[in-house]
Chain A
Amino acid sequence: MVLSRPASESDLSVLSTSASRYVRDSLPRYKMPESSIPKEAAYQIIHDELLLDCKPKLNLASFVTTLMEPECDKLVMESINKNYVDMDEYPVTTELHNRCVNMIARLFHTPLGESEDAIGVGTVGSSEAIMLAGLAFKRKWQNKRKAEGKPFDKPNIVTGANVQVCWEKFARYFEVELKEVNVREGYYVMDPAKAVEMVDENTICVAAILGSTYNGEFEDVKLLNDLLLEKNKQTGWDTPIHVDAASGGFIAPFIYPELEWDFRLPLVKSINVSGHKYGLVYAGIGWNIWRSKDDLPEELIFHIKYLGAEQSTFTLNFSKGSSQIIAQYYQLIRLGQEGYKNIMENCHENAMVLKEGLEKTGRFEILSKDDGVPVVAFSLKNKKGGHDEFVVSEMLRRFGWIVPAYPMPAGAQHVIVLRVVIRAEFSRTLAERLVHDITTVLHELDKLPPKVTSEVEENGNNGVVSKRKSDLETQREVTTLWKNYVIAQKEIKRQKVMAS
């Protein structure tokens, strides 16, 4: 007699994922599971958990591109299995990389002949780009000092306190001292005069930012160049400039073409830009351009025979995907200068719409400038009841928006801002909706019972916020406040009902 087994046990491939046992097992966290599971189940389970990530397009905290055209997506997917470093195997991809370097170099007015090859490299992001640029400065300075017979063990870099963390990383990992120019209330970027004062014989370069992450402002690179030229004349130190144009590099050339910040200034020796910010490509691509061959010490370049071909490379990473490089080339030829200009103008417009909407509430002070990266940084004029920008940020999450709040850098840490980054895909509709939701949040904020005042005074008097409350603490506070508020509302309602 044949005993038939129930179908559900015998033929798992028949079952839909939801009917299978795979959705009943918890996903492994610490140890690789013993057995395989069907690919549909793997896909579904992981996909579902990822639903709890925030929506990238509503992530107003980030400068990094979150939307590209489907044609580009197609190119991205088709090249996802090409290891960029196999230059001999994928010569066209390598060529596209070189074309991007050339185009970006000319965008920055690198002194080059028409068909001369620019010196530059594609990286995984501005962090890698900055490390490469910093390494080049460090090595050049060391060689110079060795030739002069002077000590070369204490190199330093002068930047503003508003630098992005990758400069601090560079300093710490590559053993260079970071000399930061503190900002002050009302002036949230590096002061060129103070920066030049800090320059000494051990300074390998001064780093200026075109598009401070805190409020989008462009630093005055021209003034820095002029002041540094003078100092160099007096001291003979020949200190160069690097421009961290991570955000601004793809904005200034299109909407502020007369602004002199790039290689038009003689002391600027290298510039980095993030392809994945206003270069309008998905996360994972940056560029660093050097003025000339002399600015990139030959000993840093590796000439290797990889898989059969000679390559000159100067990168930290080796194997990586090709998708973003191809996507960058797509954007450069698809949009052209006109296309980029239109997009940046739109961003600027929408930033103004948002800014005006916020100003109209009468509750906010705008800390970002009109010119610069299309960013709106704003803080509460009056922290009623002790509720600050962090609370606003938490409340906006309910509507789906991610708007970060953070203190300004050293010198103005008591100033807390909320910051909305206007990316290419942030339309006017979304801007208006955001204003509407912020207005709603303000109303709710007003109804909240005041916070415990002593804490606020403590922070306010010192002028130094020692450590920002952890997320958990803030969450707990907010939850308690809400609970009290809801209970209060219920009580009001109950009384209304009783009264009627």
Chain B
Amino acid sequence: MVITTTIPDSGEHLDSTFASRYVRTPVPKYKMPANPIPKEAAYQIINDELMLDGTPRLNLASFVTTWMEPECEKLMMASINKNYVDMDEYPVTTELQNRCVNMIARLFNAPVGETDTAVGVGTVGSSEAIMLAGLAFKRKWQSKRKLEGKPYDKPNIVTGANVQVCWEKFARYFEVDLKEVKLSEGYYVMDPVKAVEMVDENTICVAAILGSTLTGEFENVKLLNELLTEKNKETGWDTPIHVDAASGGFIAPFIYPTLEWDFRLPLVKSINASGHKYGLVYPGVGWVVWRTKEDLPDDLVFHINYLGSDQPTFTLNFSKGSSQIIAQYYQFVRLGFEGYKNVMENCLENARALKEGIEKTGLFNIVSKDVGVPLVAFSLKDSSKYDVFEISGSLRKFGWIVPAYTMPPNAEHIAVLRVVIREDFSRALAERLISDIEKVMKEMETHLIRVSTKTAHVTATVDETQDGDDGGKKHIKKSARETPEEIATYWRQLVARKKTGVC
């Protein structure tokens, strides 16, 4: 007799994920699970948890692109398994990178002939780009000092206190002293005069920002160039300039073509730009371009035999995906100069509309300038009752992520909210944001009125119940309004102390 045995769990593959046991077991957090689970379950579990992340497109805190055309996404998905560094295996991808470098160099008026190859490289972001540029300056300066027989152990960089954190990283990791020009109320970028004053014989370069992250302002690179040229004449130090055009590099050429900030200024030796900001590509690509070959010391460039062919490279990262580089090329070819110009003009228009809407509330000061990166930074006219951090918290309820932060030294008493206008921030969204800001402000005001009426009522009762213990001394209990006010002030100050500096 044959006894048939039932196959246990035979129906498991029939269960829908939410009917299966996989959604009942706790998610592994510390240790790799012993057994595999079906791919559908893995997808579902992760996808569901990720629903609680913020919505990228409503993240008004970031400059980084959050939307691309489906055709571009298709190209990205198709190249996601191409390891960019396998240059011999993926020569077309490598060529596309070179084309991007050439185009960007010419956009920045690099002195290259029509068919010359520009000197530059694609990176993972402006952080890597800045580290490479800084390394080049450091090495060049060291070689110069060695030749002169002078000490070369104390290099420094001069920047504004408004620099993005990657400059501080570069300084700390590559052992370069960071000399920061302090800001002042009303002047939130690096003052060229003060910067040039700080330059000494150990300065490897002066770094100017085209598009300060705090207020979107463009620093006056032309003035810096002129003042530094004069100082160089007097001292003979030949200090160069680097322009951190992470945001501004893909804005200025299109909207402010007459603004001289790039290689048209002779002291500018390298420029970095984030492809994933106004280069309009998803996160993961930056660019650095050098003026000429002489500005990139050859002993930093690696000629390696990797997987069978000779390749010159100057990057910190090695293996990485190819998607973003291909996407950058797609954007250049798809949009062209005219397309980028249109996008930037739209951004500026929407920024203006947002600014006007915010001004109309009568409650805010606009801290950002009209010329610069399309963003709106605004502070409260009156911060005594509530501050920008609370407003930022309240806006989250509506889904908006609008960051609040205090300015760097010496303007730490100023706190701002900042909205970045990206390509995908339409007029409709701008109007919606204005209306939600108005709602939040109304809420702030009514909440305070309610609190004060309530506490007025309570104060009366509290006074009645005051008792005099402790040997007849009468403790005057703080009114119920004062205690929360104290606490609120205490917390606000605590938080404000913590929230200095931003990227």
A residues at B contact (CB < 8 Å): 27-37, 39-40, 42-43, 45-47, 49-50, 52-54, 56-57, 59, 61-62, 64-69, 71-84, 86, 89-93, 96, 99, 102-104, 106-107, 114-115, 124-128, 131, 135, 153, 165-166, 168-169, 172-175, 274, 276, 282-284, 299-300, 302, 304-308, 310, 316-324, 326, 329-330, 332-339, 390, 393, 402, 404-407, 468, 470-471
For B33, the closest partner residue in chain A by CB is A336
* B334 partner residues in chain A, CB cutoff 8 A: 36-37, 39, 42
Q: Is the CB of B125 within 8 A of A61?
A: no
CA distance A114 to B321 in the complex (A): 34
Q: Is the CB of A75 within 8 A of B47?
A: yes
Q: Is the CB of A334 within 8 A of B64?
A: no
- Tell yes or no: B230 within 8 A of A by CB: no
For B58, the closest partner residue in chain A by CB is A89
CA distance A42 to B327 in the complex (A): 11
CA distance A131 to B503 in the complex (A): 23
* B322 partner residues in chain A, CB cutoff 8 A: 283
> In whole Å, how far is B2's beta carbon from the nearest beta carbon of chain A?
33
Apart from the given pairs A34-B338, A127-B317, A406-B305, 19 other A-B contacts in the complex at a CB distance below 8 Å:
A32-B337, A33-B332, A39-B71, A42-B71, A61-B86, A64-B86, A64-B319, A75-B47, A78-B50, A92-B49, A103-B28, A106-B32, A107-B32, A284-B319, A305-B501, A317-B124, A333-B37, A334-B39, A336-B33
| A83 with B72, Cβ < 8 A, contacts A29-B99, A71-B40, A319-B284 known | no
Q: Is the CB of B43 within 8 A of A330?
A: yes
| A52 with B61, Cβ < 8 A, contacts A329-B46, A336-B34 known | no
Q: Is the CB of B318 within 8 A of A126?
A: yes
Residue contacts A-B, CB under 8 angstroms, 8 given: A32-B106, A36-B336, A36-B338, A39-B72, A53-B89, A307-B503, A333-B27, A338-B35
- Tell yes or no: B463 within 8 A of A by CB: no
* B47 partner residues in chain A, CB cutoff 8 A: 74-75, 78
- Tell yes or no: B326 within 8 A of A by CB: yes
> In whole Å, how far is A118's beta carbon from the nearest beta carbon of chain B?
8
> In whole Å, how far is A356's beta carbon from the nearest beta carbon of chain B?
25
- Tell yes or no: B456 within 8 A of A by CB: no
- Tell yes or no: B84 within 8 A of A by CB: yes
- Tell yes or no: B11 within 8 A of A by CB: no
* B34 partner residues in chain A, CB cutoff 8 A: 336-338
CA distance A308 to B300 in the complex (A): 37
Q: Is the CB of A282 within 8 A of B78?
A: no
CA distance A299 to B82 in the complex (A): 36
Q: Is the CB of A69 within 8 A of B64?
A: no
- Tell yes or no: B168 within 8 A of A by CB: yes
* A326 partner residues in chain B, CB cutoff 8 A: 46, 50
> In whole Å, how far is B232's beta carbon from the nearest beta carbon of chain A?
27
For B85, the closest partner residue in chain A by CB is A283
CA distance A284 to B124 in the complex (A): 10
- Tell yes or no: B163 within 8 A of A by CB: no
> In whole Å, how far is B91's beta carbon from the nearest beta carbon of chain A?
7
- Tell yes or no: B390 within 8 A of A by CB: no
CA distance A328 to B293 in the complex (A): 39
For B333, the closest partner residue in chain A by CB is A42
* A57 partner residues in chain B, CB cutoff 8 A: 81
* A468 partner residues in chain B, CB cutoff 8 A: 305, 310
Q: Is the CB of B67 within 8 A of A32?
A: no
Q: Is the CB of A89 within 8 A of B89?
A: no
Tally chain B residues at the interface, Cβ within 8 Å: 126
Q: Is the CB of A330 within 8 A of B46?
A: yes
3 tightest A-B contacts by CB? A404-B308, A334-B42, A42-B334
Main secondary structure of the interface of B (DSSP, over half): mixed
Q: How does the 8 Å CB contact mask read for B57-69 relative to A, with 1 for contact and 0 for none?
A: 1010110111111
Q: How many A-B pairs with Cβ below 8 Å? A: 379
Q: How does the 8 Å CB contact mask read for B459-503 relative to A, with 1 for contact and 0 for none?
A: 000000000000000000000000000000000000000111111
| A337 with B33, Cβ < 8 A, contacts A50-B79, A83-B62 known | yes
Stretch at the interface among B358-366, B399-407, B430-438: B399-407
Q: Is the CB of B335 within 8 A of A308?
A: no
Q: Is the CB of A128 within 8 A of B316?
A: yes
CA distance A32 to B45 in the complex (A): 44
* B307 partner residues in chain A, CB cutoff 8 A: 61-62, 404, 406
* A72 partner residues in chain B, CB cutoff 8 A: 39, 42-43
Most buried by A among B276, B317, B323, B339: B317
Within 8 A of A (CB), among B94-108: 96, 99, 102-103, 106-107
For B98, the closest partner residue in chain A by CB is A29
Q: Is the CB of B333 within 8 A of A471?
A: no
* B330 partner residues in chain A, CB cutoff 8 A: 42-43, 46
> In whole Å, how far is A310's beta carbon from the nearest beta carbon of chain B?
7
Most buried by B among A302, A308, A330, A334: A308
> In whole Å, how far is B94's beta carbon from the nearest beta carbon of chain A?
9
> In whole Å, how far is B224's beta carbon from the nearest beta carbon of chain A?
25
Please tell me which one of the listed residues B36, B169, B299, B320 contacts residue A284 in the complex, with CB atoms under 8 A apart: B320
Q: Is the CB of B336 within 8 A of A304?
A: no
- Tell yes or no: B218 within 8 A of A by CB: no
* B304 partner residues in chain A, CB cutoff 8 A: 165
> In whole Å, how far is A354's beta carbon from the nearest beta carbon of chain B?
18
CA distance A337 to B33 in the complex (A): 6
CA distance A78 to B52 in the complex (A): 14
Please tell me which one of the listed residues B75, B80, B321 contacts residue A46 in the complex, with CB atoms under 8 A apart: B75
Stretch at the interface among B126-134, B258-266, B371-379, B441-449: B126-134
CA distance A99 to B45 in the complex (A): 14
* A71 partner residues in chain B, CB cutoff 8 A: 39-40, 42-43
- Tell yes or no: B92 within 8 A of A by CB: yes
Q: Is the CB of B317 within 8 A of A172?
A: no
For B31, the closest partner residue in chain A by CB is A106
Please tell me which one of the listed residues A32, A39, A125 contacts residue B107 in the complex, with CB atoms under 8 A apart: A32
CA distance A234 to B138 in the complex (A): 39
Q: Is the CB of B321 within 8 A of A282?
A: yes
Q: Is the CB of A471 within 8 A of B309?
A: yes
CA distance A337 to B31 in the complex (A): 10
| A80 with B76, Cβ < 8 A, contacts A61-B308, A402-B89 known | yes
- Tell yes or no: B357 within 8 A of A by CB: no
Q: Is the CB of B31 within 8 A of A76?
A: no
CA distance A322 to B56 in the complex (A): 12
CA distance A82 to B81 in the complex (A): 19
Q: Is the CB of A91 within 8 A of B52?
A: yes
Q: Is the CB of B50 within 8 A of A79?
A: yes
CA distance A115 to B36 in the complex (A): 22
* B124 partner residues in chain A, CB cutoff 8 A: 124, 317, 320
Q: Is the CB of B27 within 8 A of A308?
A: no
- Tell yes or no: B3 within 8 A of A by CB: no
Q: Is the CB of A102 within 8 A of B392?
A: no
- Tell yes or no: B114 within 8 A of A by CB: yes
* A153 partner residues in chain B, CB cutoff 8 A: 153
* A81 partner residues in chain B, CB cutoff 8 A: 56-57, 65-68, 282-283
CA distance A365 to B96 in the complex (A): 39
* B332 partner residues in chain A, CB cutoff 8 A: 28, 32-33
- Tell yes or no: B150 within 8 A of A by CB: no
Q: Is the CB of B80 within 8 A of A36?
A: no
* B35 partner residues in chain A, CB cutoff 8 A: 336-339
